[in-house]
Each structure stands twice: as C-alpha cells, then as structure tokens.
C-alpha cells in the first residue's frame, strides 16, 4: 500500500501502539523500516540563499525543517525525542547525555541567581547534592521539605521561588506523590513544577496530564531498558522546551545518534517490558511480605503501603522496584545478597536483568552511620530492581537466599 493510500486517521490510543508507531516517519531514507543512524557532526547548505533563509527563520523563532550543527540537533536524536514526547502525550522533549544532565540543565535554565528551589526530602541523593552544594555557588537558595507535607511545601514558597521539584515514586522507599496536588500548588503560586518520573515511566504515569510543567527521565533506566546506555529526557510544552533546548545547545551535554538509536529500539518494547516489570514487582512484593525472614516490604502495590490508594488512583502499574528490610544485621544481609544467583549486585534499574542494591554499602558508602540513619538507610535495607525474567524463578532464588 502506498503512503498516500494509508487511512487518513489511525488510532494511537494504546500505549503499546504509541511505543511502536508514535512520531514514526512512514517513509525513511532509502526505504528503511528502522530509523537510520545519522553519523554526522555538521550539515551542509546548497547556497547562501538557503543559509539566509535558515538564519532568518531561526532568528524569528519559526519552524526549521533541517539541521545545521550536531550540538543543536540530529535526525536520529530528533526521532527519539518525538517518540518520548508522544509517550508522555506532550508537545516536545529533549534528549541529553544522562538523567542527571536532564535535571541539572533544567535547574540551571529555570533558576537564575537569587532565585529559590524547593524539593522534597525523598529526592535522589545526587539531586539534593546538586541543589544544596552547586546551585548555592551561584546564589540559588534551596529548601528541602518533608515528603507528603503539602502544607510545608506551600509555606516554603517565597516571591523568589521558581521551581518545585519531586519524584514519583521515590527511591528507595517508593513513596507516592500526589501529583495533581503538587501541580496545583505550583500553578497557584506561579511556580514551575518539575517531576522526576523515571521509576513510573510513561506507561504507569503521565504526570503532565495532571498539570506538571516538566517531566524528567533517566532514560538509562526503563526507557533504554537493556543496561547499555546513558541518557536523559526532559518533556513538556513547546513553549517551555524551546528556550530550554537553546540553553542546552550552549551547555553542550547533548546525546549522540547511537544512543538515540538504542533508545528508539528500547522504547518500542517499553509497554511489554513495563507490563512484565509490574507483574514481577507485585508477585515478588507479595512473596516477600509473607516471608518469615523479611521485616518490612516497601511497594506501592501492597495494600499495606501508605501510598497504595493514591498510587491506585493515579498510576496504571506499580513498577519493578521493590525495597525491603531483612531480619538481621549488616552481616546477615550481606549473606543473603551473596547467596542470590539470578540477581546481579549492581546499581541502576529498569533493564531486562534483575539487580540488587545494598543502599548503605553502595549508594551511601561515603556517609557516616549517623548520616545514613538520618537519611533512613539502615544496614538491613535492600532494593530489588526486577527484570523481565519469570516471577517464579526470581521468587525461588530469593527464597533460597533468605534461607541461606
């Protein structure tokens, strides 16, 4: 069937359909089925008249259907950005070098010297470190408020507050943010709301639909899905993304076409993988909650989780991350981890292989015992990043290790 004979309108309402077809060019160079990888650092013009037309359109903020230089855009990168924007049901997205780059560039763009940011205390440790250490070097003040205390969040807003930041869900305790309420507070006070939705993915939560201004992802995790790339995304309305894109062209921490290609491939199976992550998370959490060697389980799919009702209302799945405390001390916890066979001891999450992390020994190893205690990171806490294996096999492995 020729392209002109395609149906005028085809529904892309299903998440799995969007993951495969949204923002996909029907006709690609050389009739390729898969988006090509464009290895070029610069682009040519046929004439100076074309240069003049390009620059005039750029200077006037108009749409420019071509590329000039690799730091400002690449066709493969643009395809990955369009796919993520479609999955988030928004207008635009930017692909950058890492999840932290997505956060730091967003903060640097929207937080001028003398401004103020508020973030919740369950935010990723490195995010807090950037705000509390590096932003303060450029006279940007930072306030950390308790997770779930929306009165404290609103009370902390000042005339110079420019950004409210949080995560959904948080890591490692999977705390669930009331995304709609968070967005309403920002909107009420004219403050930009930024949400790290890495753990939810666009399959389990479309935070922008609840009124959040910008969503950030560590694409290293579920979006890539295979533990083989580093990247980050920022998504939102065109009016916010366009000036941010211009800033990132100056900051320079862009992604490359090979990474974009891997992301395009990863996102095509995102719906399938997240569905399996969700199934594994629920089954493993239920198994652990009933195990005599387990002290407490943190998973929003469990009715005992304090955020369960909220998660059920605003999310379509609970994800593949499960945290729990082992009955015993640090040595007993280490013995359990070392006895596992299917789980790799490793940071990160969201890939096809299941991983296990000991937060105190790995993510907080440079902190004193007192600082870890204050952060709520005991020696018997472990975090599972469940892959796409069969849940029964993962459960068998966990059971034998807990009996070790």
Active site residues: 71, 124, 196, 221
Q: Which two tokens stand for residue 159?
A: 């005339």
3-state secondary structure of 120: strand
How far apart, in whole angstroms, are the C-alpha atoms of residue 137 and residue 122? 23
Angle CA 21–232–277, to nearest 5: 65
3-state secondary structure of 94: strand
Q: Which two tokens stand for residue 404?
A: 């070790």
Looking from the CA of 269 toward its CB, the CA atoms found within 13 Å total 14
Which residue intervals of 340-381 are DSSP H helices?
Answer: 369-374
Instruction: Pick the closest to residue 360 from 318, 403, 326 (CA basis).
Output: 326
Angle CA 127–182–178, to nearest 5: 95
Place of tokens 């609840």: 210
Dihedral of CA 142/144/148/154: which sign? negative
Question: How many C-beta atoms surround the C-beta of residue 141 within 10 A?
Answer: 17
Per the rule left: phi > 0, alpha: psi between -120 and 50, beta: everything else, 55 is alpha
CB contact at 8 A, 80 and 245: no
Q: What is the dihedral of CA 66, 68, 70, 71, to 10 degrees?
A: -110
Question: How many C-beta atoms surround the C-beta of residue 359 within 10 A?
Answer: 22
DSSP run (H or E) holding 93: strand 92-96
CB contact at 8 A, 270 and 201: yes
**Burial group, residue 187, by CB count within 10 angstroms (0-12, 13-18, 19+):** middle
């Amino acid at each position: 069937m020729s392209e002109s004979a395609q149906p005028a309108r085809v529904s892309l309402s299903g998440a799995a359909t969007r993951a495969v077809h949204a923002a996909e060019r029907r006709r690609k160079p050389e009739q390729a089925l898969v988006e090509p990888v464009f290895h070029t650092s610069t682009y040519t013009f046929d004439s100076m008249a074309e240069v003049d037309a390009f620059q005039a359109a750029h200077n006037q903020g108009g749409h420019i259907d071509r590329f000039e230089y690799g730091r400002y855009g690449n066709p493969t990168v643009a395809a990955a950005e369009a796919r993520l924007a479609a999955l988030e049901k928004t207008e635009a997205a930017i692909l950058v070098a890492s999840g932290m780059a997505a956060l730091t560039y967003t903060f640097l763009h929207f937080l001028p010297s003398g401004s103020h940011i508020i973030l919740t205390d369950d935010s990723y440790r490195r995010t807090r470190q950037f705000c509390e250490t590096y932003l303060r070097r450029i006279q940007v003040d930072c306030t950390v408020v308790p997770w779930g205390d929306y009165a404290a969040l609103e009370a902390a807003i000042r005339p110079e507050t420019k950004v409210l930041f949080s995560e959904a869900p948080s890591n490692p305790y999977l705390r669930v943010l009331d995304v709609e309420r968070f967005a309403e507070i920002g909107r009420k006070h004219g403050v930009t709301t930024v949400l790290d939705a890495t753990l939810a993915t666009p399959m389990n939560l479309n935070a922008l639909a609840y009124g959040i201004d910008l969503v950030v992802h560590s694409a290293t995790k579920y979006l890539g899905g295979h533990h083989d790339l580093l990247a980050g995304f920022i998504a939102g309305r065109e009016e916010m993304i366009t000036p941010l894109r211009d800033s990132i062209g100056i900051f320079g921490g862009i992604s490359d076409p090979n990474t974009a290609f891997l992301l395009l491939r990863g996102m095509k199976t995102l719906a399938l993988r997240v569905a399996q992550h969700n199934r594994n998370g629920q089954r493993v959490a239920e198994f652990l909650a009933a195990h005599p060697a387990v002290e407490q389980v943190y998973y929003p799919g469990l009715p005992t989780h304090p955020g369960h009702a909220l998660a059920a209302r605003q999310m379509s799945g609970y994800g593949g991350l499960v945290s729990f405390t082992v009955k015993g001390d640090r040595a007993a916890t280490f013995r359990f981890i070392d006895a596992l066979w299917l789980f790799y001891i490793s940071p990160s999450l969201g890939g096809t292989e299941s991983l296990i992390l000991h937060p105190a020994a790995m993510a907080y190893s440079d902190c004193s015992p007192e600082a870890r205690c204050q952060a709520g990171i005991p020696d018997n806490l472990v975090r599972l990043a469940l892959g796409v294996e069969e849940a029964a096999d993962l459960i068998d492995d966990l059971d034998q290790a807990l009996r070790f």
